[in-house]
Structure 1
């Protein structure tokens, strides 16, 4: 990166952090620190909720996912609008009426202390690990591509987020996320414009779309009933519905965003904003990845997008074999470029028989290119067990660094960092507040002042930040990053959601039955994940259904004569 890029990058990130700390230099006690003094408007809530979801993983990994597999990942979000409507109708009024700091307080009021602790504990485990991933994800990619020390990059990103999150609490997170989200959206539109602008002069946008469709990258909906397939219309509609219900309705990193609203209406409008905008935004980010794929059909892409890994292999006994593979790949993609250009011309002419022949030729060469890339990944695995043989997370950042002009590179890298900061800040803020409210404040003996609890919240938030940085320093991800985060959530969210739905709608069930059912459900989901091949979105439905069914059965049988349990 050039000096101008570094100025844009550092100026953007430091400016946002300093502004957030300055705007919230007086937090206004525990209420203001944890809930933002009820002054946050619906627009800020909407952007904050969206920014909490839109981590660096979204902007690094999602385009790479589309580059490899096309648009099908968008089905992951098909159930989200229905979930948000449900939350607006049932969850928000209850949370606002009870004036809770965390969603798990409600479990204590409805059931008992142990159920509240269990819900909060499951959240802390899942979100604590996720916070480490959201720091690790951009750091591992950016450090590799820019030549920065990985550990230093992790600490830099984590420390900056911890400082302004600890300083201003919920309001600082929400206010800074408003601007971070703005930068993110501007940056993605700029990247898209640059991709289209860098296509060959004789290839129009319409031709690029036709080529993408011919190469099977634009298939959005898959109506297969195969539960082993990760992304189908049905897994997205039903599994995605329960994933979104749990994420938006029970995950404190999201609940804390809309509990800070100035009214029930503000909270609802903020969430409904996401119901309307999220799927188009995710569609657009995936579409950016597809356009990067089309761009590289006409240009020679790297045989492997993580150049740092190739550099390591070049120092091993496999260097000569790697050079041979790179030469073979260059030859294949050169032929592919000619075939794809001819396909683009034939698609414009409209002769179906000619189009079919051109498509067959282009697809065959693409298959050959993929086979060479598979050989490269296998060779990387031989060269070192600690070398990452997946490169989809490096596709988009490689395009940015190689094809964008000075200044815009800094802006797009700032987008990645801003996304990492916004999502991690929300997570740390929620982790600190949950630990303080649901554990420390109940366990600590004697009443304390607001100032004491604010101090403890700051300390706990900083501690979780340190723990997240520790997780990031020792993380070893084997999945595509965007999938890894969704898989992690799906393994925990179903059981947590089941506890809340029982609390809302099954009034005859008490805490012990729910507590036992949630533990059984969580263990069952983990065992199923490690032994069966089921699309991970279904675990949200399975976990929730198990808790609801088992808790009712246990309450009617084993715990039928149980007495009134301790409220918390």
Structure 2
């Protein structure tokens, strides 16, 4: 990176962090620190909710997901608008009426203490692990750009987030997230514009879409009923609905964003903003990845986007590496010629169909060569990450954007990382303080003591998240890893809340044991079956509801 890029990068991040700390100096009450003094308006809530969900993983990994597998991932979000409407008109009024700091306080008033602690404990496990992944994503960037060891970049990113999250609590998180989302959205539009600009000497935007479509990169909708497929309309509408319902309705990292609203109307409007904007935003990011695939047809593409892995492989197996590199270059030229021939013919004619087949054949050969490179890397060092989709967008940014904009785009990814991770750490600390420390350890402490404990716990959770970040190295694709992790726990947590809201005759003991049984079932299904992970949200939720009803009826019979 040039000096200008570093200036833009650290200048943007410094201004955002400094602004958040400055605006929240002197925050000493629990109401201010955990709920931002109930002062947030719907615009801040809406952007804060979006920024907490849209981590650096979204902007690093999602374009790579589309590059690798097409746009089917967008189906993950098809149930989200319905879920947000339900949360806005069912969950929010209940939380406001009870004046809770965390969602899990409600579970004690409805059931008992052990059910509240179970719900909070499941959240802490899931969100603590997820926070590690969101720290790991931008650490990859720093490691790639600066050539630093990943250990140091993980520590740097983690400590930066801890500093301003500890300093200002929920208000600092929400205020800075509004600025961060502005930088993020502007940066993504700029990147997309440059991709289209670079393609213009070869193909028009419409022709680029035709190429991507014929190479199966625009396959955004799949009506298959195969439950082993990860992404279909049905898994998105049903599994995605339960995932989003649990995430936005029971995950403290989101609940805390809208509980800081001035009133229920502001909180509802903030969620409706996300209901309207989230799918278009994800579609646009995935489309950016699909266009990147077309871009790398006309411009030199690495045989493996994690170029450090190739460099290390070249040291131990130079002859085999050179063979694959030479073959990749020849296949790249062949595919480029096939695609240029395709766009110059009428697709409806026999010649056009031949062009499509040639384009697909050359693409398959190229992808097979890329797979051979992955297998060679793995054969020489099984610990090296062979999945390179997380490096696709980053490679484009570093190699093809002008000075200054590189710094801005890297700032975009860091902003997303900080906004999401800060929201997670803030929620983890709030839940630990309110549901465990205040509830069990020291119920009679002063507000100032609770704020001090919450700040200490924020720092401790930050350190744990840094530790979890080192485990993320084993994941194939970060955006999938986050959703898989959520799906293992969210269905169960949602089931507990839905029983609390709607199945009034079920008591705490029944739902407590049902949640444990259902959680064990989900972990077993994940380990021993090939069921698409989105279905775990539906299965977990249905399991808690069904088993708790049966247990309660059995206990009533006794």
Q: TM-score range by the shorter chain?
A: over 0.9
- Report the secondary structure of 1:487's partner residue: helix
Cα distance per residue 1:465-489 (max 9 Å; x no partner): 0111121134432321100000000
The CA deviation at 1:232 is: 0.2
Distance in 1, matches of 2:305 and 2:26, equals: 46
The question of whether the paired residues in 2 share the 8 Å contact of 1:39 and 1:260 is answered with yes
- Shifted more, 480-489 versus 22-31: the winner is 22-31
Is 1:181 aligned to residue 178 of structure 2?
no
**Which of 470, 480, 483 is the equivalent residue of 2:480?**
483
Is 1:341 aligned to residue 343 of structure 2?
no
Corresponding residue for residue 70 of structure 1:
70
CA gap 1:352/1:556 in 2 versus in 1, 3 angstroms: same
Corresponding residue for residue 329 of structure 2:
330
Corresponding residue for residue 546 of structure 1:
543
- Shifted more, 139-148 versus 426-435: the winner is 139-148
Cα distance per residue 1:88-137 (max 9 Å; x no partner): 11000000000000000000110000000000000000000000111012
Distance in 1, matches of 2:168 and 2:35, equals: 11
| Residue-pair matches, total | 558
1:409-420 aligned within 5 A: 409-420=406-417
The question of whether the paired residues in 1 share the 8 Å contact of 2:65 and 2:286 is answered with yes
The question of whether the paired residues in 2 share the 8 Å contact of 1:243 and 1:494 is answered with yes
Distance in 1, matches of 2:12 and 2:556, equals: 57
Corresponding residue for residue 386 of structure 1:
383
1:119-518 aligned within 5 A: 119-316=119-316, 318-346=317-345, 349-445=346-442, 447-518=444-515
Structure 1 residue ranges, 4+ long, deviating more than 6 angstroms after superposition:
none
Distance in 2, matches of 1:560 and 1:46, equals: 48
CA gap 1:539/1:350 in 2 versus in 1, 3 angstroms: closer
TM-score computed with the length of structure 2 as normaliser: 0.99
Distance in 2, matches of 1:203 and 1:445, equals: 67
Distance in 1, matches of 2:82 and 2:557, equals: 35
The question of whether the paired residues in 1 share the 8 Å contact of 2:28 and 2:448 is answered with no
The CA deviation at 1:28 is: 4.8
Corresponding residue for residue 565 of structure 1:
none
Distance in 1, matches of 2:210 and 2:443, equals: 69
Distance in 2, matches of 1:434 and 1:253, equals: 9
1:85-124 aligned within 5 A: 85-124=85-124
The CA deviation at 1:558 is: 3.1
The question of whether the paired residues in 2 share the 8 Å contact of 1:303 and 1:376 is answered with yes
The CA deviation at 1:351 is: 4.1
Distance in 1, matches of 2:489 and 2:435, equals: 19
- Report the secondary structure of 1:552's partner residue: helix
Distance in 1, matches of 2:276 and 2:81, equals: 7
The question of whether the paired residues in 2 share the 8 Å contact of 1:514 and 1:547 is answered with yes
The CA deviation at 1:210 is: 1.4
Distance in 2, matches of 1:78 and 1:36, equals: 31
The CA deviation at 1:403 is: 0.4
The question of whether the paired residues in 2 share the 8 Å contact of 1:145 and 1:306 is answered with no
Distance in 1, matches of 2:479 and 2:374, equals: 20
CA RMSD of the aligned region, Å?
A: 1.1
The question of whether the paired residues in 1 share the 8 Å contact of 2:324 and 2:369 is answered with yes
The CA deviation at 1:204 is: 1.1
Cα distance per residue 1:24-76 (max 9 Å; x no partner): 11225110000000111000000000000111110010000000111110000
Distance in 2, matches of 1:486 and 1:231, equals: 12
Corresponding residue for residue 529 of structure 2:
532
- Report the secondary structure of 2:300's partner residue: coil
The CA deviation at 1:342 is: 1.1
Distance in 1, matches of 2:396 and 2:191, equals: 9
**Which of 514, 517, 520 is the equivalent residue of 1:520?**
517
- Shifted more, 419-428 versus 215-224: the winner is 215-224
- Report the secondary structure of 2:474's partner residue: coil
1:13-92 aligned within 5 A: 13-92=13-92
The CA deviation at 1:350 is: 5.0
CA gap 1:360/1:350 in 2 versus in 1, 3 angstroms: closer
Distance in 1, matches of 2:206 and 2:326, equals: 32
The CA deviation at 1:201 is: 1.1
Cα distance per residue 1:337-363 (max 9 Å; x no partner): 0111111111xx454322111000000
Task: Specify every segment of 5 or more residues in structure 2 that has no aligned partner in the other structure, as ranges.
Answer: none
- Report the secondary structure of 1:223's partner residue: coil
Task: Specify every segment of 5 or more residues in structure 1 that has no aligned partner in the other structure, as ranges.
Answer: 562-568
